[in-house]
Each structure stands twice: as C-alpha cells, then as structure tokens.
Amino acid sequence: MDKQDSIYVAGHRGLVGSAILRKLEREGYRNLIYRSSSELDLRDSRQTMAFFQEHSIDYVFLAAAKVGGIAANNEYPADFIRDNLMIQTNVIEAAYRTNVKKLLFLGSTCIYPKLAPQPLKEEYLLTGELEPTNEPYAIAKIAGIKMCQSYNRQYGTRFISAMPTNMYGPNDNFNLHTSHVLPALIRKFHEAKENRLPSVEVWGTGNPRREFLHSDDLAEACLFLMNHYEDSEIVNIGVGEDISIRELAEKIRDIVGYDGDIVFNPSIPDGTPRKLVDVAKINRLGWKAKIGLDNGLRSVYDAFRQDDLVKQ
C-alpha cells in the first residue's frame, strides 16, 4: 500500500475496524474511506456496488460483521448467518467488479472444529464438527474464506483471509447481553465494586480456555499482511498463549480492585473448551504480538473508567 492509495475500512466503528483505522492514520495513509452502517448498509448489494463504483478503491479491510458473545450467537443465529453472508458477499463481489487491488477478509478462530487438536493450525479448517453455540456465524465466516479463495482462483483477484483469536480493546461492546467475556467481566467487576455487591457471577464452569489479542496488535498484523502476504491460504493472528476463564476473572478482579467473591454459573454454556491458535505461520512471516494481557487489560479498564466517569 502506498500512502496515497485509497483504502476502505469496512466496519470502522467496531473493535477491529477502529483499530485498523487508527493504525492507518498513525502510519500516514492519507486517503482513507469509511462509512457508518447508517450511511452505507453493506447488506444491500446495490448500495454497496454503487459505493465501490463511486470511489475507485485500491485496498479493502473487510472488518464489517455482525459479531457477539456466546449468548448473542445463541439467541440470534439467523441474524448472524444472514447479515454476515450478505455483508461479505456484497463487499467481495463489489471489490472484484471494481478491480480492487487487494482485500483482507477477517474471519475468526471459531471456524475451526470444536475438538481440533491445540494449538489450532490453519490446516485444521473443515476437518471436523463446529462448536454448536456459534455454528451459524462460523459457517458464514468459512463461506467468506472460500469466496476469497474461489475469486482468486477463477478471477485472479488478490483477496487474503486472516483468522484472529478473541480480541479486546477500545470500542469494545460492554453490553452484558451481547458482549464477549472480557468486556463483560470488566463491567461486572467494576459495577460490583461501585455498588459493593458481595459477588460477581461468571458464566459456565470457568474451565474453558481462551486467548486474548489486543486490537492494536491485530491492526498491526492486518497492515503487515496487507503489505506482505499474497497467498490464498488463511493465516492465524494471535498471541500463542491462553488462560482459563477462571484465571481471567481473577485477573480482572485484581485489576479492578474488587474484594468480593466469584460465583460460577454452570447452567450457562461453556462453549468450545479451548481455542488457542498456532501462530507459527505469522511469526515465520515476520510478525509477533507485543501487548501482554496484563498491560492490555489495565489500559482497557482505564479507558472504561474514563467513559464511566464521563457518563455520570
């Protein structure tokens, strides 16, 4: 990417897209294009095509998606499969038709089989059954990968796909009903401390293990891949280490400074037991995560507290 190339960040208000946009701005890219979903509904193929035709876009970061935690995936499975299939189909097709030079499609590690060996290597894709709690979302993401690969094969496009592990960072979703575990626990422990509650409920058994990648690290990896990776095969983005939900809860409790109890609720599903990605491929290509979980959590909690003060 040259500094004057026109670069479209789809999903710039979300956790991932906003981090990519900040990184591009910091690196001096000058011709950045973005639209909120009320200005451009990517589920609408006509609007999407018209937007691409109007703007002569060189590069696309496809970070627009309907995302959510375990409860949201369970409650709105139709929305997750439909919206994601529509958004990615419209953007990929429009990018092909308007001769976009390169597109980066962002998937997720839930594309890997529920019981795949750990750490998850890229070649485990489509070797077994998916985790049922987010299967519709995962199927949409797998379709996106296959679309990119098929367009490359048939039309000679350069559409690459990256699979980030669980992420956190600024602009995360802190809504307890729809969020992922890390922002949910920050909010729960913070509110329990403020309101002097005796305990905090953590869903599931606390035994599942998850890996957490800061969105600034992810953004750096995305720019790195856009500039250096050409292959159709997927690439994992992660830190290469995971922790249990119990350990995460204890860490967040300490950072927040809450001294009540943690109560697990095993009647809520655990989801997949573990999803640690193998990062050997991206490390070999020359990129490594830099932000440790303790520092990342502290910075996210500081930002959350600032927002909370502003709201009061």
Q: Which is nearer to ligand GDP, 90 or 165 (CB)?
A: 165
The verdict on 268 binding ligand GDP (CB under 6 A) reads yes
Catalytic, out of 29, 137, 151, 168: 137
Report in angstroms how near the CB of residue 160 gets to ligand GDP at its nearest.
24
The verdict on 169 binding ligand GDP (CB under 6 A) reads no
The verdict on 208 binding ligand GDP (CB under 6 A) reads yes
d(CA 32, CA 7): 5
Instruction: Retrieve residue 95's tokens.
Output: 């990018």
The verdict on 164 binding ligand GDP (CB under 6 A) reads no
Instruction: Retrieve residue 163's tokens.
Output: 């699979």
The verdict on 65 binding ligand GDP (CB under 6 A) reads no
Q: Which is nearer to ligand GDP, 12 or 210 (CB)?
A: 210
Q: Which is nearer to ligand GDP, 58 or 211 (CB)?
A: 211
Q: Which of 114, 158, 210, 214 binds ligand GDP (CB under 6 A)?
A: 210
Q: Which of 11, 17, 69, 107 binds ligand GDP (CB under 6 A)?
A: 69
Report in angstroms how near the CB of residue 265 gets to ligand GDP at its nearest.
8
In this structure, is the dihedral angle defined by the CA atoms of residues 245, 182, 262 and 299, taken in order, positive or negative?
positive
Residues 3-62 that bind ligand GDP (CB under 6 A): none
Residues 124-163 that bind ligand GDP (CB under 6 A): 134
Q: Which is nearer to ligand GDP, 49 or 268 (CB)?
A: 268
Q: Which of 203, 258, 287, 304 binds ligand GDP (CB under 6 A)?
A: 203
Report in angstroms how near the CB of residue 187 gets to ligand GDP at its nearest.
8
Q: Which of 42, 60, 202, 293 binds ligand GDP (CB under 6 A)?
A: 202
Active site residue 137: yes
The verdict on 181 binding ligand GDP (CB under 6 A) reads yes
Positions annotated as catalytic residues are 137
Residues that bind ligand GDP (CB under 6 A): 69-71, 110, 134, 166, 179-181, 184-185, 202-204, 208, 210, 245, 268, 270-271
